[in-house]
Structure 1
């Protein structure tokens, strides 16, 4: 192919690609190719093509399945029964907890967790995946010689050792906005279903959910407060036909996957004054002024009670001096 003329190449590809291929044929040295050969020769690094038996069959549902995949870690995980878990980069404490807990339950049942290694919900989902036998697959929008965001470098290392990092982009490709919708379609295709944990109305997670639905995958969303911007995207998806998910069991049953063996986290059973304060707190973020009005307590007394509940893991403190119930 590389030795063909531009006119011959034009029978198969457009003029820009034909000229690029013809120009490439004239090159005598390929430092980029040498770098990729060196990378592939390193332990744990793999290059999968459409001709490989280990190429994930789920990606063939895409009209533009990538011709090659770069994989760092275990390529077999790309063909394991999987669930995609995505959501906001600016997640709430409860959202992060939900993403990790749902993903841990799925992984403990043997299902790989597929996400995009972004900050927030993605990172929490990967951590949950790593906690079980199903492990996790991180589909990234850069070359595998880079980690984006850099704050997830340690997590990416753990995934490379116990899971799999995958990209259709060659080494050296930097993070660019246009790469992430392309990455999202792979996340959507690899999962038997797609769970959106938290998302604003402008979130890229809605793109992933749309792509999953177009591929015939079931879409799930976790509802939240009607006042939270991070819940707006999930509520929109539910209105559009996504299945409301309150537990990992809901999703496994809807997909007719084997049931979980009772892995739900134990819930606290607060009593006395703590129970009353939690009832006054409710399930939505609330500030100190509102709480003093609801409870009739003085600020210093209320602050002491809130600190005790936070240390026990029953509530979380949020930016702006607000608090949110966790159990």
Structure 2
């Protein structure tokens, strides 16, 4: 993209009072941004308010600095094949699925493997959920995402802590030679990583998939930007799977946006005692499809069949450990309750629980509780 063309798009995106809706109206009336800024105030007022027309006549503060910064960023290179791109609303590479939504972003910044682009998301699934999931929720997210990846289905999420991070990790474990393994839609500029603890994960996503943002470089993590980016997560994909969510979770915003955009909504049920399952249960009441396996999603979206998430429980577990798993169930339970259920002493139970914990079948929770995390 030439400097003047980029300057026009950045100016339009930065003009105060001009949101995506007003920008699309202006583009429809006058063509490219250069055509908009060539108009008189009177002409602009035919399709915009007086205040908007006046704002369009003035160059936004910080435009020159952002233009230089963006050009420098776009020209940056990476030894691992990671490229930096900018898509405008009229670009041929702009994803058709996102264009069909009610509020497609004016600009999309992309950071990722050069062999991938957003047009490869015609068969993809969004996975979202709690930032503070249970151990079972984390394992579900990772296992489902890995199975989607093995079936050649990219996983789109938001790089947040919790379910998002686990979903990205699972998809990366499966890899994606022909399609991006996973796509992270973030709420900051692409010259920043938020949360900071996901810096290494973000580098891996950029190498095996894509990181996407509608926000200009330098944009910090602002609270209002994260719910807004959820419409992109939902809009890029064929459906949204909510792994685990409380009733006031931002994941329910993504599910609502997906439904409003005509996409499928899926939810994994959980324990009736877990606050982190209540959001999923509410979605199911509202018509979301209850999901117990990857096959439920593949069948509904008419994707080709793929492998099911494996059970973390090893086939050669000792009989007494398999019996303890059955007694554990999937709800958090105390050591005293397990003693009462099994008739075993605390020392014996502690030894068996430690073996299961090391095998990845049981998680030790705060408050002296234990929870089974096997899927099978």
TM-score, with structure 1 as normaliser? 0.94
SS of match in other structure, 1:280: helix
Equivalent residue in structure 2 for 1:68, among 104, 107, 115: 107
Q: Offset at 1:315?
A: 1.0
Length, aligned pairs only = 326
Q: Which runs of 5+ in 2 are unaligned?
A: 1-35, 78-82
- For each residue in 1:138-194, what CA deviation from the matched residue of structure 2 results, as whole angstroms up to 9, or x when unmatched? 000111111111111111111111110001110111111211121000000111111
1:316 partnered with 2:363? yes
Equivalent residue in structure 2 for 1:22, among 57, 80, 85: 57
TM-score, with structure 2 as normaliser? 0.82
1:77–1:137 contact (8 Å) kept in structure 2: no
Question: 1:1-327 alignment to 2 at 5 Å?
Answer: 1-24=36-59, 30-43=64-77, 44-74=83-113, 76-80=116-120, 81-131=123-173, 132-133=175-176, 134=179, 135-261=181-307, 264-265=310-311, 267-269=313-315, 270-327=317-374
2:231–2:258 contact (8 Å) kept in structure 1: yes
Cα distance in 1 between the residues matched to 2:333 and 2:311: 25
Residues 301 and 261 from structure 1, CA distance in 2 versus in 1: closer, same or farther, beyond 3 angstroms?
closer
Q: Offset at 1:229?
A: 0.6
Q: Offset at 1:316?
A: 1.1
Superposition RMSD in Å = 1.9
Cα distance in 1 between the residues matched to 2:118 and 2:43: 37
SS of match in other structure, 1:310: helix
Comparing 240-249 and 299-308, the one that deviates more: 299-308
Cα distance in 2 between the residues matched to 1:130 and 1:28: 38
Cα distance in 2 between the residues matched to 1:85 and 1:221: 10
Comparing 285-294 and 70-79, the one that deviates more: 70-79
Comparing 187-196 and 5-14, the one that deviates more: 5-14
Q: Offset at 1:265?
A: 4.8
Cα distance in 2 between the residues matched to 1:17 and 1:290: 66
